[in-house]
């Protein structure tokens, strides 16, 4: 599909909010804060859903994105990601197409979460089944589809079967690799965790606290990809090295964090998602407000 309109709607910067943050936030508060994000000038708002085996939980992704779309007028809602192990391909397409029909041009569907055994084959089969479903159910409704692709095989699949990639928790170097592999056409939409704090211990500690929620010292697609990028056992052990933390976390004063975010654009990203590591949704949007003057054009006031 023609992605020019999607690029225009997205702009340079959007927002990614953790599923657990939204799970803990009443919908009425969500609506207020989503509208605030839109007023600040960000182009999109993304969230995801954890795998079924995860110790954390979240709201159902399409129900959550409907809240985003209903509370705003122009924000693009992004699934980053909708888990392919949580619903059948027909259900995935029907949910996405329904939202895309109700809010034209305002949905990007990110897919991931396939099992570790033969993940590329399983995801290709899932995409095949989605395409078959789309030929029968709401066939005229189109929406961009991106993959949570990290490695070269996943990038190859995304180049042929999707509209781009949505890498999570990767260094700027990975953005450049994704752009080079996919070429100029597909979307490259990286996630960037950030902390507005100049104390190294505090900033890195927030990232490490999040990483402790998952399993450590287990080979995952993330650790495998960090190894491809040149990080070794010392970087990946226990709480991760400062070197790896600093490569995947933007921290410091507003101008330093803004530089890191723009580095992704310089490396080939179309749209960069800001993920403030804050205690709750309101605190998250507070950090987004502090960064907005460094990233976004001034928004007009109310008429």
SS3 content of the chain, % helix, strand, coil (to 5): 50, 15, 35
Distance CA 296, CA 85 (A): 36
Contact 217, 240 (CB under 8 A): no
- Domains of the chain by residue range: 4-195+251-295
User: For residue 52, what pLDDT is reported?
Assistant: 62
pLDDT band at 115 (very low <50, low <70, confident <90, very high): confident
Q: Is the pLDDT of residue 174 over 80?
A: yes
pLDDT, mean of residues 183-201: 98
- Checking if the pLDDT of 238 tops 90, the result is no
Cis peptide before 81 (omega within 30 of 0): yes
Q: What are 208's two structure tokens?
A: 């490490």
Q: What pLDDT is recorded for position 164?
A: 98
Please identify which residue in the block is written with the tokens 């990639």: 165
Please check the confidence at residue 134 and state whether its pLDDT lies above 60.
yes
Does residue 62 surpass a pLDDT of 60? Answer: yes
Q: Is the pLDDT of residue 302 over 60?
A: no
Q: Order of strands across the sheet with 191-195?
A: 187-188, 164-165, 145-147, 107-112, 76-83, 44-47, 13-16, 272-276, 191-195, 249-251
Cα separation, 281 vs 210, in Å, equals 16
Q: How confident is the model at residue 301 (pLDDT cuts 50, 70, 90)?
A: low
pLDDT above 80 (res 22): yes
CB 85, CB 114: distance < 8 Å: yes
What is the mean predicted confidence (pLDDT) over 53-58? 70
Q: Determine which of 23-27, 62-66, 116-120 has the lowest per-residue pLDDT on average.
A: 116-120
Which pLDDT band holds residue 50 (cuts at 50, 70, 90)? Answer: confident
Q: Which two tokens stand for residue 155?
A: 């990038």
- Give 58 or 226, the one with higher predicted confidence: 226
> What's the pLDDT score for residue 170?
97
Counting beta carbons within 10 angstroms of the beta carbon of residue 38, is it exposed (0 to 12), middle (13 to 18) or buried (19 or more)?
A: buried
* Of 51 and 273, more confident: 273
Give me the helices (H) in the chain, please. 4-10, 19-23, 27-40, 61-71, 89-102, 119-134, 152-161, 172-182, 200-211, 221-228, 233-236, 242-248, 254-267, 281-295
* DSSP label of 264: H
Looking at 51-60, 70-79, 135-144, which range is the least confident one?
51-60
pLDDT, mean of residues 187-214? 93
pLDDT band at 211, cuts 50/70/90? Answer: confident
Q: Give the mean model confidence (pLDDT) for residues 225-232.
A: 96
User: Does residue 57 surpass a pLDDT of 80?
Assistant: no
pLDDT of 216 higher than 60 = no
Q: What is the mean pLDDT of the segment spanning 111-117?
A: 88
The pLDDT value recorded for residue 236 is: 95
Q: How far is CA 251 from CA 39, 167, 210, 257, in A?
A: 24, 19, 15, 6
Give the bridge partners for 82, in sequence order.
111
Share of the chain above pLDDT 70, in %: 94
Measured CA to CA in angstroms, residue 230 lies from 8, 146, 167, 224 at distances of 35, 26, 17, 10
Q: Tell me yes or no: is domain 4-195+251-295 CATH 3.40.140.10.
A: no
With a cut of 90, say whether residue 214 has pLDDT above it.
no
Q: Which three-class secondary structure state does DSSP give residue 39? A: helix
Q: Is the dihedral of CA 150, 262, 45, 160 positive or negative?
A: negative
Q: What is the pLDDT of residue 2?
A: 83
**Band of residue 303 on the pLDDT scale cut at 50, 70, 90:** very low
């Amino acid at each position: 599909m023609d992605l020019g309109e999607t690029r225009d709607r997205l702009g340079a910067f959007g927002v990614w909010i953790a599923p657990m943050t939204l799970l803990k936030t009443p919908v009425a508060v969500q609506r207020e804060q989503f509208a605030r994000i839109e007023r600040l000038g960000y182009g999109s708002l993304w969230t995801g859903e954890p795998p079924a085996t995860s110790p954390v939980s979240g709201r159902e992704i399409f129900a959550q994105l409907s809240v985003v779309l209903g509370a705003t007028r122009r924000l693009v809602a992004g699934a980053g990601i909708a888990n392919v192990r949580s619903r059948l391909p027909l259900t995935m397409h029907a949910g996405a197409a329904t939202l895309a029909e109700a809010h034209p041009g305002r949905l990007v569907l990110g897919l991931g979460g396939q099992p570790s055994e033969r993940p590329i084959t399983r995801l290709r089969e899932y995409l095949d089944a989605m395409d078959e479903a789309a030929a029968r159910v709401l066939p005229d409704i189109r929406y961009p589809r991106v993959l949570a692709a990290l490695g070269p095989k996943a990038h190859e699949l995304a180049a042929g079967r999707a509209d781009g990639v949505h890498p999570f928790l990767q260094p700027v170097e990975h953005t450049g690799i994704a752009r080079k592999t996919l070429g100029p056409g597909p979307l490259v939409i990286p996630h960037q965790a950030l902390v507005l704090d100049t104390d190294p211990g505090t900033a890195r500690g927030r990232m490490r606290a999040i990483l402790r929620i998952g399993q450590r010292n287990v080979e995952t697609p993330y650790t495998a990809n960090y190894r491809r990028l040149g990080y070794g056992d010392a970087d990946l052990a226990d709480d991760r090295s400062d070197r790896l933390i600093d490569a995947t976390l933007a921290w410091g004063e507003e101008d330093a964090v803004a530089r890191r975010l723009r580095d992704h654009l310089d490396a080939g990203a179309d749209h960069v998602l800001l993920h403030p590591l804050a205690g709750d949704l309101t605190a998250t949007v507070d950090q987004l407000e502090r960064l907005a003057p460094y990233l976004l054009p001034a928004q007009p006031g109310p008429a």
